[in-house]
Structure 1
Amino acid sequence: MKGYFITLEGVEGSGKSTQMNLIEEYLTGLGYQVITTYEPGDTEIGKEIRELLLNPDYDQLVSKAELLLYCAERAQHIAEVIKPALEEGKIVISDRYIDATVAYQGYGRGFDVELIKRLNWIATDGLEPNLTLLLDIDPLHSLERAKKVTEEANLKGDKMEAERISFHNLVREGYLTLADSEARIELINASCSVVEVFNQIKSLLNKMVI
């Protein structure tokens, strides 16, 4: 792979989408070819899988099926979007990737973390990000933010947003555990302003990409 792969991770409402747009603008301004993408759903097949995963009307979906659908969506995402862009030498920025499945389905749902890592390896052919930015924030505050955005846009909240706070706390703990064990993961304090969060990220980008 000739490109550079950046992922953003964090609990619901941590500000990933906002920061992804700022990163794209910054790196594009420096002359890099950048594409942004997200999981689940940034392919035609992925959109169908996303509907199954996040639509609260499909509450009969069992956790094991949820786990496997996330991995299936990821395999399609890599084949159609991520791998071609990296082979063209572009910087790829993805809102969620392999760590989300470990945090949500592993720590949140209780599936064996090592099993999930093996499933991720199968889905990705071992493709890991060069840099992962973990936007860390107390889920109690981030969920309020997420629900406010949903209400202002007159949208229906998804299945993950509707989970109990105990679930989101487990997800956050999972992310923090991953950050302790993976050198590629950089912890970002996401409880401050948008500008302050981006300044933390920009400092890392200047060291690792430029």
Structure 2
Amino acid sequence: MAGKFVTFEGPDGAGKTTVLNKLLDNLQLKLGSKLVTSREPGGNHIAESIRNVILDRENTKMDSRTEALLYAASRRQNIVQTVKPALSENKLVICDRFLDSSIAYQGGGRKIGEQLVYDMNQFATEGFLPDLTIYFDIPVEVGLKRIAKNRNANDIDRLDVETVDFHKRVHKAYQDIVHDNPGRVKVVDATKPIADVYSDVLSIMKKHVNEFM
């Protein structure tokens, strides 16, 4: 399969989306239709509909495994409808979150089990993984302070209002993913100023997907 698939990961409040939006604005000017963007959950009409159910703050009774299965369903639709068709046309696909988020948030945060969530997602992904994952690392307390300071009430979803212990489990699961996937996952220090984080991301991108940079 041609093309490159790059995912951005990180705990809440890491500044991932801010940096990603800046990167996409610049890449869009250069690549035009050769750049495809997506997000998880979401990425197309069906997947976005599932996203609305998952993140709705009214759905407080959602079972943890139901949540994990919904993420996997959205992921499957994103892969088959958005990601793989673009890769087959030699495009650069950049996605805000992917499988690693499920492993961290549902496997670690919800205590389902990281390996169990990974195994469950094999039906959805058929073993499909990104060529590169950029992980924004930040201490839990710092990330949560950023959320409290920078997000208004309408932007806060069910996961943002979870306990500190939940977010610590998520962070630990992410650390495990980084340790187990050194070839695919590259880490940036998200405590730095945004301009410095953006520069670090550019350096990683130029090293690993230089043909599109």
Q: Is the TM-score greater than 0.5?
A: yes
Identity of aligned residues (%): 34
Cα offset for 1:26?
4.0
Higher mean displacement: 115-124 or 131-140: 115-124
Q: Is the 8 A contact 1:3 1:91 kept in 2?
A: yes
Which residues of structure 1 form unaligned runs of 5+? none
Query: Amino acid of the residue matched to residue 12 of structure 2?
Result: E
Which residues of structure 2 form unaligned runs of 5+? none
Instruction: State yes or no: 1:178 paired with 2:191.
Output: no
Cα offset for 1:29?
5.0
Structure 2 Cα separation of the partners of residues 142 and 192 of structure 1: 12
- Which position in structure 2 is the counterpart of 1:162? 161
Instruction: State yes or no: 1:22 paired with 2:22.
Output: yes
- Which position in structure 2 is the counterpart of 1:7? 7
Q: Is the 8 A contact 1:5 1:91 kept in 2?
A: yes
TM-score by length of 1: 0.93
Q: Is the 8 A contact 2:42 2:75 kept in 1?
A: no
Higher mean displacement: 112-121 or 69-78: 112-121
Structure 1 Cα separation of the partners of residues 127 and 94 of structure 2: 17
Query: Amino acid of the residue matched to residue 194 of structure 2?
Result: V
Cα offset for 1:204?
1.1
Structure 2 Cα separation of the partners of residues 54 and 191 of structure 1: 26
Structure 2 Cα separation of the partners of residues 207 and 118 of structure 1: 31
Q: CA RMSD in A?
A: 1.6
Structure 2 Cα separation of the partners of residues 9 and 156 of structure 1: 19
Instruction: State yes or no: 1:192 paired with 2:207.
Output: no
Local SS of the residue matching 2:154: coil
Aligned pairs (5 A) from 1:33-182: 33-151=34-152, 155-182=154-181
Q: Is the 8 A contact 1:132 1:186 kept in 2?
A: yes
Local SS of the residue matching 2:85: helix
Local SS of the residue matching 1:86: helix
Structure 2 Cα separation of the partners of residues 205 and 170 of structure 1: 28
Query: Amino acid of the residue matched to residue 178 of structure 2?
Result: A
Query: Amino acid of the residue matched to residue 43 of structure 1?
Result: N
Structure 1 residue runs of 4 or more that deviate by more than 3 Å after TM superposition: 25-32
Q: How many residues align?
A: 208
